[in-house]
């Protein structure tokens, strides 16, 4: 007999070789119908895997992230079989589940795949799925595996790097694939499938390797789920920050300047400036001091910090000066520079905490295939700050930073979020710098502050920064997509590497603790996410233009200018559309430009010294005084932009 512990802490006794599906059936038939994956003692298993020892079992359905992963991983196998049957001679490589769906990288040889082929692949997938073929795992020797893939150099390369005795295959229908496991019970659970796109992808991500075709797909257990997802995709296209950024004239890119290096247009620069000023005002109240650091630094600076060892190979390469042996790097991080600012003076415990903040631009060489609008760039500006405090001050300082992050989210309409505590991977110590003792202290500090603030949180092992654990904020946007926004990190290691000290009350030198924090993360990525979350309808306090004045004809231009001056005197951002166009066209274009308020000026408005106001979206506020309009603006701003 073996003892199986369930997530609620209950323990059930079963005969040896019981399967996760058997356990599900023992709980309820309804659960058994919905279980599609499982994990045992933290390892993903099949629902038919025999369990031979005591352990902890978790059963997953479609509603669980792990369940979706198994579902989409299994669907990738079905996609691979469909491709193999439709395109004889195509060479399969790898096909993992991803955040939304799955892909398979394929060498199609002489075939080329385009959108016109998607329907045939989808139909073939569903035809295979209707066969209700079981997914079955089996072991194979290295020799057997190599023989099976003797005509596929990609699979052969994978197998060569595996140890004999660790190689497994998954079979379903007439199809076999090299696989570690983690499948749904059978293909029949897949009721809907869609091929989303194709793209080029280098084998194993190396541009020196052959280029393959990456086929992206998604699948669901119900057709209505696919329909809803495709509707969501259509909405996402409308909200794409690259599209909106162009329409709203916020930013652009230039091949001559270089890939991944955004150029901010006047409206975008003004938007950024308002965001910066918003955070600077809150930081000033919280006791931060602004600093400025160079865009480059000597290579030795980043060797000392550890950034060069961890990221040097993937960064812009060193800049050689006319002086022999002198090397500089484009700044990949602001924190080493801030450590040196702290080191500029000798500090007492009475001087701490020191809070240095900077909107500092950093540079990282992302592969061209990974670049994506503002969300993945090569040059970006972080709203970075580094706090240097005593160990006794750490808890309060960390909680204060949490308050600042929550203030930022609240003022910008991000209300649906959870916290993620990212810890080191104890099985992979080489990924990190510093002593185990320092890591344990830092992790304890983050957990304590997170619990005390009452945050809803999850714990992710192995997601820590190389120098310390962190608290990340995972925000859901208006389309339900999850983004990591805002991060706070506790660091005992860089103060050691830079020999940072302060004089304690005992007159001895001590090490400060360092907190890294960035509520926005990067200005570029934050604005991209904010654009898509709001569909360009930013909070009123942030809008480039809060009101546009539309005169019915040229006769009322003088009154329009008078209204503009009165609004500007009241610190309301407005402009006049002077064009000789019909009022209907002006209104339509103002709607497209997402101006929050349209002020219509005509004979009656001038006569009564009033304005007719129309909100973005079509709501008519009627004819009101300019003073009343100013009150409407200020009231709406105050609803969102609360004091910190």
> Phi and psi (nearest 5°) for 470?
-150, 160
Handedness of CA 72, 73, 78, 84 (dihedral sign): positive
Q: Please, what is the Cα angle at 386 between 392 and 507, to 5 degrees?
A: 40
Cβ atoms of 228 and 220 closer than 8 Å: no
Residue 632, token pair as written in the block: 């409407």
The alpha carbons of the chain give a radius of gyration, in whole angstroms, of 29
> Phi and psi (nearest 5°) for 288?
-85, 150
Strands 470-476 and 482-491: antiparallel
What would the DSSP string read from start to end of 38-76?
EEETTEEE-TTPPB-S-EEEEEE-TTSHHHHHHHHHHHH
Q: 408: Cβ–Cβ under 8 A, 6 or more apart, which residues?
A: 279, 282, 486, 519, 520
Annotated binding-site residue? 616: no
Tell me 361's DSSP state: E
Query: Which position has the token pair 């905490």?
Result: 353
Cβ atoms of 485 and 526 closer than 8 Å: yes
Rounded to whole angstroms, how far apart are CA atoms 279 and 288? 11
Rounded to whole angstroms, how far apart are CA atoms 335 and 474? 23
Which segments of 410-464 are extended strands (E)? 417-423, 457-461
Annotated binding-site residue? 516: yes
Handedness of CA 456, 458, 463, 465 (dihedral sign): positive
Q: Catalytic residues, which ones?
A: 335, 364, 382, 384, 386, 470, 516
> Phi and psi (nearest 5°) for 174?
-100, 15
> Phi and psi (nearest 5°) for 92?
-85, 145
Annotated binding-site residue? 77: no
3-state secondary structure 195-259: EEEEEEEEHHHCCCCCEEEEEEEEEECCHHHHHHHHHHHHHHHHHCHHHHHHHCCCEECCCCCCC
Helix (H, G, I), strand (E, B) or coil at 82: helix
From residue 348, alpha-carbon distances to 362, 387, 390 in Å are 31, 15, 10
Rounded to whole angstroms, how far apart are CA atoms 162 and 80? 22
Helix (H, G, I), strand (E, B) or coil at 114: coil
Nearest Cα residue to 361 out of 242, 502, 261:
261
User: Going edge to edge, which strands form the sheet with 327-330?
Assistant: 296-298, 327-330, 319-320
Q: In Å, how far from its chain's centre is CA 461?
A: 18
Residue 621, token pair as written in the block: 């506020």
From residue 202, alpha-carbon distances to 93, 97, 210, 438, 625 in Å are 11, 18, 6, 40, 63
Residue stretches of the annotated binding site for Zn(2+): 335, 386, 516
Binding residues: 335, 386, 516
């Amino acid at each position: 007999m073996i003892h199986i512990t369930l997530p609620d802490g209950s323990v059930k006794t079963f005969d040896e070789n019981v399967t996760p599906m058997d356990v599900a059936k023992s709980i309820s038939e309804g659960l058994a119908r919905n279980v599609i994956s499982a994990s045992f003692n933290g390892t993903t298993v099949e629902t038919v895997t025999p369990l031979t020892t005591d352990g902890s079992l978790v059963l997953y359905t479609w509603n669980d992230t792990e369940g979706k992963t198994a579902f989409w991983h299994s669907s990738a196998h079905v996609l691979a079989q469909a491709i193999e049957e439709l395109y004889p001679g195509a060479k399969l490589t790898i096909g993992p589940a991803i955040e939304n769906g799955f892909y398979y990288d394929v060498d199609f040889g002489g075939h080329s795949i385009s959108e016109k082929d998607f329907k045939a692949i989808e139909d073939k997938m569903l035809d295979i799925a209707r066969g209700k073929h079981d997914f079955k795992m089996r072991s194979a020797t290295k020799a057997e595996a190599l023989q099976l893939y003797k005509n596929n150099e990609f699979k052969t390369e994978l197998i060569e790097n595996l140890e004999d005795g660790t190689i497994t295959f998954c079979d379903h229908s007439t199809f076999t694939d090299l696989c570690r496991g983690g499948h749904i019970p059978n293909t029949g659970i897949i009721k809907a499938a869609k091929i989303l796109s194709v793209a080029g992808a280098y084998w194993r991500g190396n541009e020196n390797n052959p280029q393959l075709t990456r086929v992206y797909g998604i699948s669901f257990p119900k057709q209505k789920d696919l329909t809803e997802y495709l509707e969501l995709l259509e909405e996402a296209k409308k909200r794409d920050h690259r599209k909106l950024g162009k329409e709203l004239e916020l930013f652009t890119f230039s091949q001559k300047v270089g890939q991944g290096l955004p150029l901010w247009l006047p409206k975008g620069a003004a938007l950024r400036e308002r965001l910066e000023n918003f955070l600077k005002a809150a930081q000033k109240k919280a006791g931060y001091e602004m600093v400025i650091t160079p865009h480059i630094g000597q290579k030795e600076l980043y060797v000392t910090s550890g950034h060069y060892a961890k990221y040097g190979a993937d960064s812009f390469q060193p800049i050689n000066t006319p002086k022999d042996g002198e090397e500089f790097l484009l700044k990949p991080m602001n924190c080493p520079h801030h450590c040196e600012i702290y080191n500029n003076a000798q500090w007492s415990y009475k001087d701490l905490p020191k809070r240095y903040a900077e909107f500092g631009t950093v540079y990282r060489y992302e592969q061209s295939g990974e670049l994506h609008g503002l969300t993945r760039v090569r040059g970006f500006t972080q709203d970075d700050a580094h706090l240097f405090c005593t160990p006794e001050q750490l808890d309060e300082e960390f909680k204060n930073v949490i308050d600042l992050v929550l203030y930022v989210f609240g003022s910008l309409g991000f209300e649906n979020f959870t916290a993620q505590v990212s810890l080191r991977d104890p099985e992979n110590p080489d990924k990190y710098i510093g002593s185990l003792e320092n890591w344990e202290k830092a992790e304890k500090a983050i957990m304590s502050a997170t619990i005390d603030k009452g945050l809803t949180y999850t714990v992710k092992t192995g997601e820590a920064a190389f120098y310390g654990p962190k608290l990340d904020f995972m925000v859901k946007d208006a389309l339900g997509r999850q983004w990591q926004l805002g991060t706070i990190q506790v660091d005992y290691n860089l103060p050691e590497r830079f020999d940072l000290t302060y004089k304690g009350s005992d007159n001895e030198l001590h090490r400060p603790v360092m907190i890294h924090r960035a509520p926005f993360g990067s200005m570029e990525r934050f604005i991209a996410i904010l654009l898509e979350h709001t569909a360009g309808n930013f909070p009123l306090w942030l809008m480039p233009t809060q009101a546009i004045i539309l005169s019915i004809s040229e006769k009322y231009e003088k009154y329009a200018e008078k209204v503009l001056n009165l609004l500007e005197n009241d610190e309301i951002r407005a402009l006049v559309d002077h064009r000789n166009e019909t009022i209907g066209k002006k209104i339509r274009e103002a709607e497209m430009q997402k101006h929050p308020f349209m002020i219509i000026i005509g004979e009656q408005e001038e006569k009564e010294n009033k304005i007719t106001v129309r909100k973005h979206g079509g709501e008519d506020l009627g004819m009101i005084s300019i003073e009343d309009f100013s009150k409407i603006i200020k009231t709406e701003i105050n609803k969102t932009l609360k004091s910190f």
